[in-house]
Homo-oligomer: A and B are copies of this chain.
Amino acid sequence: MSEVENTSFEECLQRLMTSLEASLYEEATSQLSDLHAAEIARLLESVPPKDRIKLWLNIDSATQGDILKDLSEDVLSQLLNEMSVDGIVKATEGLDMDDLADIVPELPESALHNLLLTLDHKHRDHLKQVLSYPEDSAGGLMNIDIITVRDDVNVRTVIRYLRLLKEMPIDTDQVFVVDRTYKYIGSIHISTLLTNEAEQNIKPLINKEHKPILASTPESDVASLFEQRDLISAPVVDDNNQLIGRITIDDVVDVIRDEAEHSVMSMAGLDEEDDVFAPVIESTKSRSIWLGVNLITVFVAVFFIGLFEATLQEKIALAVLMPVVASMGGIAGTQTLILVTRGIATGRVTTSNLKVLMNKEVAIGLLNGMLWSVVIGLATYLWFSDLILSLVIATAIVVNLIFAAFSGAFLPSLLIKFKIDPALAGGVILTTITDVIGFVAFLGLASLVV
């Protein structure tokens, strides 16, 4: 850990790329040896797939295991495919159940079978339990390395028990109190054990303020909870209130980071789990889908232009200026769209305050429409010395900005109702709307007065 972390990462990558470009694979591998697994994971994601595989096969099994849990899906699946079944079993031996459960979906069938055979009965049951919940739920996120105590003992007994364990699982900030049927009662922060006298009975020390998390809770709700309550770990129970695991902050940080990456990447139809250095053909395929969707929407928009061919023929300045109307509507609408989409995602915007927000956004659209219609009208007059054209474009701007605000505010919750991710589809649909309204308002008005 050092204050020059990022610079040194850049230097590491620089040196690694130099070695790889010179095909010095042994030297490259040795450069990785002193690094933290998370850093090696990041370096592997930062080099082209061919070099990545060469590096990977030179890394020892124990380190491979630690690296696996930090890789994005795409790269993870690529590297697992290059490994022997034995290699996979060896590498995944020491992993936590939740990390193992994340890797399982990417495993080849044969490797999964052999892996299950290496686990003892108890661990196999635990893995099956974690896998029985969706990957993006509290159950899929939880780990099973919990420390439990009964409520009829004193501080000394608990500490003696902990000393017997020799060490505690990472991120253990609390031990959980359960009854004899393993039903959750509450938790005791380990600092409480240190600051209380040895003879103190633990009953009054038990924290019962917070309810445990149900295994079926979606991971985004788990993340909100951790953020709001500043938690380090939290107990997870099944439908019978039986303690089955705990979620730790490190996994929640990954959820938060992934959610954030998702909302940025999906704006361009990208997947946050994709390999940045995926092969050209693969990337071309995945990108082309988004281009195809966009092509359909842009053909919808230009179809409306086609309706006004005669008007355009009469006044070619309309053709020159029409992108201005469409573009201003698109920008204004996107501002509202992103504001509302993020507001919904962070819970600040719900059906109960959407109407207030929509009124506000439409008012902003009206005001900005009036402001910029004057500027654009003047600019048009200076360019084409055509008063009617200037008035037409000014009016079209106001109309489009009002509709843009309305659509931007309305669209996210409409898409959510149809189970469509607004971060993914919102932008494309919105700009189609603002393009069409912009073209129709501008050219339609012009056709009436030209």
Report which A residues bind B (CB closer than 8 A): 1-3, 5-6, 9-10, 13-14, 16-18, 36, 38-39, 42, 45-48, 138, 159, 162-163, 165-168, 170-173, 190-197, 210-214, 216-217, 221, 224-230, 232, 234, 249-250, 252-254, 256-257, 259-261, 263-265, 267-270, 276-277, 280-281, 283-284, 287-288, 290-292, 294-295, 298-299, 301-302, 305-306, 309, 312-313, 316-317, 319-324, 326-328, 331-332, 334-335, 337-339, 342-343, 346-353, 356-357, 360, 363-364, 367-368, 371-372, 375-376, 379, 383, 435
Q: A49 to B46, alpha carbons, bound, how many Å?
A: 46
Q: A162-B194, A173-B173, A261-B342 are in contact. Are A38 and B294 (CB under 8 A)?
A: no
Q: A277-B357, A350-B13 are in contact. Are A268 and B331 (CB under 8 A)?
A: yes
Is A360 in contact with B9, judged by CB distance below 8 angstroms? no
The list of the 8 closest CB pairs from A to B, nearest first, reads A260-B260, A319-B319, A3-B214, A38-B228, A1-B210, A230-B250, A168-B191, A14-B352
Q: A450 to chain B: closest CB distance in Å? A: 14
**SS class, residues of chain A in contact with chain B:** helix
Is A1 in contact with B38, judged by CB distance below 8 angstroms? no
Q: A62 to chain B: closest CB distance in Å? A: 17
Q: A34 to chain B: closest CB distance in Å? A: 12
Q: A2 to chain B: closest CB distance in Å? A: 5
Q: A367 to B350, alpha carbons, bound, how many Å?
A: 43
A-B contact pairs, 8 of them (CB 8 A): A36-B228, A163-B197, A167-B191, A171-B173, A253-B253, A276-B357, A299-B324, A305-B319
Q: A196 to B281, alpha carbons, bound, how many Å?
A: 57
Residue in chain B with minimal CB distance to A259: B260
Q: A412 to B178, alpha carbons, bound, how many Å?
A: 54
Q: A378 to B242, alpha carbons, bound, how many Å?
A: 63
Q: A382 to chain B: closest CB distance in Å? A: 11
Q: A17-B352, A214-B3, A256-B256 are in contact. Are A9 and B347 (CB under 8 A)?
A: yes
Q: A163-B195, A211-B1, A253-B253 are in contact. Are A335 and B298 (CB under 8 A)?
A: no
